[in-house]
A and B are shown apart, each in its own frame.
Chain A
C-alpha cells in the first residue's frame, strides 16, 4: 500500500480501463479511454484556470493595498466561477463586417493548443496522460500554434486596434520562441533526453537540474522566465492587449464564451510555462532533497503544484511591478540581448558537458 491517497484515483482509473477494454474491441477501447482522459483533463484544467484567475486577482490586490474579491462565496472563492457563468450566458456580439468563419475559428485554435500542451506533463509517477519520448519538443511546437489563433482573431475582427495588437503578438511570439527553445536546449544537454518523465528521473539521483547545471543553468532559467512571460503575452511584454494603447488588443470584438476561451488560454499558458520551468529546472514532482520520499502517504502532486505556484507568483510579481515595453525595444531585447546570451550559455554548457567537469 504505497500511495494511499494517490492510489484511490489510480485504482478507479485502472478498473475503468480494464472494464472498457473488456467490453469493446481493441481500437475503440483505446479511443474511448483517450476521450475519457481528455474530458477529465479539460474539466480539471478549466477549473484550475479559473482558480488561477482568482489567484491573480487576489495577488494583484495584495500588491495594491486592496483586499481582492471577497464577496462571492466564502472568501471570494466562487468569484471566478460566477465570472465564468456570466461569460457563458453573455450574448456573442460581433460587428457585421467580420470574416465569419475565421472569427469563430480563432478562439478554438488558442484554447485547443493550450489544452494539448497540458497532456504531456508528469504531475506525479502515474499521473501523466501521455509520456511520449519527444515531450519537450512537442510542447514547444504546440505552444507556437496558439499565436496563429491570435493572428487570425485579430485580423478577422476587422478592427484597427485588433489588427495592430495581432501583428504585435505575431512579432513577439516568433522572436521569443527562439529564446524559449534555446534555453530549454541548454538544459536538454544535461538531461540527454526529451522525455519528461526521464528528465524527472535524472533529477532524482543527481539533485535538481538547476543545481546540477549551476551557473549556466541559472542563466538559462532567467532567460527562460523572461522569454516565457513574453511567450504568454504577459507582464512587461503585454503589448498585445495593451490597455492604455489599444484598448483590448486582439480580443476587442470578442465577447461571451469566445472571450472566455482567449482569457482562459492565457492563464493555462501561464500554467504551462511554469510547469515546463518546474519539470526542467526544479525536479518536477520530486521533493526537495528527498525529504518526503520515505513517507508513503504523501502525494507527490502536491510538490509539483507548490513549485508551479511559486513560479506563477513570480510571473504575477513581474506583471504588477513593471511598465510595458515598446515594440522596437521588445525586439532589441530579444535579438540583441537574450539571443547572444543564450548562445553563449549553450556553448558554455556544451563545453562543461563535453569535458564532463560535473561538480
Chain B
C-alpha cells in the first residue's frame, strides 16, 4: 500500500541526494575552489579590464595627457573628481589656455562606473588593476592623479 511505497521513494530520493554530496567528498582534495589569498598574492592576477582604480599614466619624462577640460568632472555621477586648473599663456599661440594644477580623485566616493574614462577626450585617465585599496585613514583615499611637477604632453588638444 502507499504507506510503504512512499517510505521507499522517500529513502530513495534521500540516497540520491547523499550520493551527490558523497561524490564531492570523495574527490575533495582537487575539487576545492577556494583560493588561499594571502599566500597566492604573486600568482593572483586580475583580468586586464578589471576596474580597480582610476589612474593617470605618466610617460618617462613625467608628462601626462590631461588638459584640465573638466569633462570627466561633469560626467561623474558622484562628484568624486575635482579639477583645480589655472590660466596660463600658451608659448606658441600666445592665447590664454587652461592648465591643470591638481586632478583630485576621491576613491572613497567612486562607484567604478567608468563614465569619466568614457568622457575623457584625450584618454588621460585609465583603469588600474589593483584590488587592494583598503587604507588605515580615510584621507589616503583622496588622491591627486597628476604627479607633482608633471606637465601636459605637447600637442594634446581637447
A and B bound?
Answer: yes
A147 CB, nearest partner CB in chain B, Å: 26
The contact string, 1 if C-beta is below 8 Å from chain B, for chain A 333-345, is 0000100000000
A67 and B34 within 8 A (CB) = yes
Bound Cα distance A167, B116 (Å) = 59
Q: List, in ascending order, chain B residues with CB within 8 A of A61's CB.
A: 28, 32
Residue interface bits A62-82, CB-to-B below 8 A is 1, else 0: 111111000000000000000
Taking CB as reference atom, which chain A residue is nearest B15? A321
Question: Contact between A322 and B17 (Cβ–Cβ < 8 Å)?
Answer: yes
A45 at the interface (CB under 8 A from B): no
Q: A317 contacts the other chain (Cβ, under 8 Å)? A: yes
Chain A residues positioned under 8 Å from B24 (CB to CB): 62-65
Contact in complex: A62, B25 (CB < 8 Å): yes
Task: Decide yes or no whether A320 CB sits under 8 A from chain B.
Answer: yes
Which residues from A are CB-within-8-Å of B148? none
Contacts of B20 in A (CB 8 A): 321
The answer to whether A317 and B34 touch across the interface, beta carbons within 8 angstroms, is: no
**Docked pose: A62 CA to B31 CA in angstroms:** 8
Which residues from chain A contact B34 at a C-beta distance below 8 Å? 65-67
Q: B22 contacts which chain A residues (CB < 8 A)?
A: 317
- Residues of A with C-beta under 8 A to B17: 321-322
Question: Considering only CB atoms, which chain A residue lies closest to B29 in the complex?
Answer: A62
Docked Cα-Cα span, A67 to B29, in Å, equals 8
* Alpha-carbon distance A63/B33, docked complex (angstroms): 12
A67 to B32, CA, bound (A): 6
In residues 11-33 of chain B, which contact A (Cβ within 8 Å)?
14, 17-18, 20-22, 24-25, 28, 31-33
A53 vs B32: C-alpha distance when bound (angstroms): 20
Among residues of A, the one whose C-beta sits closest to the C-beta of B36 is A67
Residue B135 lies at the interface, judged by CB distance under 8 Å to chain A: no
Q: Which of A66, A322, A337 contacts B32 (CB 8 A)?
A: A66
Interface residue B7 (Cβ < 8 Å from any Cβ of A): yes
Chain A's closest residue to B6 (CB) is A337
- A317→B14 CA distance, assembly (Å): 11
A61 vs B29: C-alpha distance when bound (angstroms): 11
B132 to chain A, nearest CB (A): 19
Q: Which residue of B lies closest to A323 (CB)?
A: B17
**Across the interface, do B14 and A322 meet the contact criterion of CB distance under 8 Å?**
yes
29 CB-based A-B contacts, threshold 8 Å: A59-B25, A61-B28, A61-B32, A62-B24, A62-B28, A62-B32, A63-B25, A63-B28, A64-B24, A65-B24, A65-B28, A65-B31, A65-B32, A65-B33, A66-B32, A66-B33, A66-B34, A67-B32, A67-B36, A317-B21, A317-B22, A318-B18, A320-B21, A321-B14, A321-B17, A321-B20, A322-B14, A322-B17, A337-B7
Contact surface of A with B, Cβ cutoff 8 Å: 59, 61-67, 317-318, 320-322, 337
List 17 additional contacts besides A63-B28, A321-B21; criterion CB under 8 Å: A62-B25, A63-B21, A63-B25, A64-B24, A65-B28, A65-B31, A65-B32, A66-B32, A66-B33, A67-B32, A67-B34, A317-B25, A318-B18, A320-B21, A321-B14, A321-B17, A321-B18
